[in-house]
Amino acid sequence: MRKKLVWSLALLGSAVGVATPTLAKKHQAAQSGTASSQSAGVDQDIQLLRLDIRSKKKQLIAANLKLTDDESTKFWPVYDQYTADLVKVNNEKYALIKEYANDWGTMTDEQALSLTNRALAVDKSVSELRIRYVPIFSKVIPGKKVATFYQIERRIQAMIDLQLSSQLPLVQSQE
């Protein structure tokens, strides 16, 4: 299982890594001129990338979380609701990334602190969501499978976050 998960995470990471520079270049182009149509294109690309990542994430979980047919029938509706709730939180995360990209190069100290505080609030919201869903998942699958699900989910999210953050320049480098 470990090799399968590592390989699958590598494939997901390459998908995120390939798409992110493309999005960054489109965003820079949107900044420099024909902003409205190119910015809409960037937003559309981000939405498509997010859908693709969610699909791949679900496939990874299905491949690595050994569920019985009965468990599967109960687990996936809960997972889908969890994902819908997570998307709502991540909408704020992606809005912050977009705002960061828009403000980079002209960002004030106040803007930097605001972005930092709101990014930390998003992290807190994700943690609170995970905590809220532990007893819900525990009602449909055994504890070891709940723990395994969260391990897989957190590994995938950590890799996505690393890929995204590696594409963003440091705040101080705007000076």
How would you write the pLDDT of the chain (175 residues) with one tens digit per residue? 444 444 444 444 444 444 444 344 444 455 555 555 545 655 665 666 666 777 788 899 999 999 999 999 999 999 999 999 999 999 999 899 888 888 888 889 999 999 999 999 999 999 999 999 999 999 999 999 999 999 999 998 898 888 888 888 888 776 5
Distances (CA, A) of 152 to 17, 115, 147: 19, 28, 9
126: tokens are 């994700």
Give which of 2, 107, 94, 81 is closest to 42, Cα–Cα: 94
The 10 Å Cβ neighbour count of residue 154 is 12
Q: What is the dihedral of CA 139, 144, 82, 74, to 10 degrees?
A: -50
* Cα distance between residue 94 and residue 87, in whole Å: 10
Distances (CA, A) of 11 to 8, 18, 160: 5, 11, 11
Output the furthest CA–CA distance in the chain (Å, rounded): 57
> How far, rounded to the nearest angstrom, does the alpha carbon of residue 31 sit from its chain's CA centroid?
24
What SS3 class is residue 15? helix
* Cα distance between residue 112 and residue 130, in whole Å: 27
- By the 8 A CB rule, do 153 and 7 touch? no
Backbone angles phi, psi at 45, to 5 degrees: -60, -40
Give which of 46, 5, 1 is closest to 153, Cα–Cα: 5
What pTM value is reported for the model?
A: 0.73
- By the 8 A CB rule, do 96 and 115 touch? yes
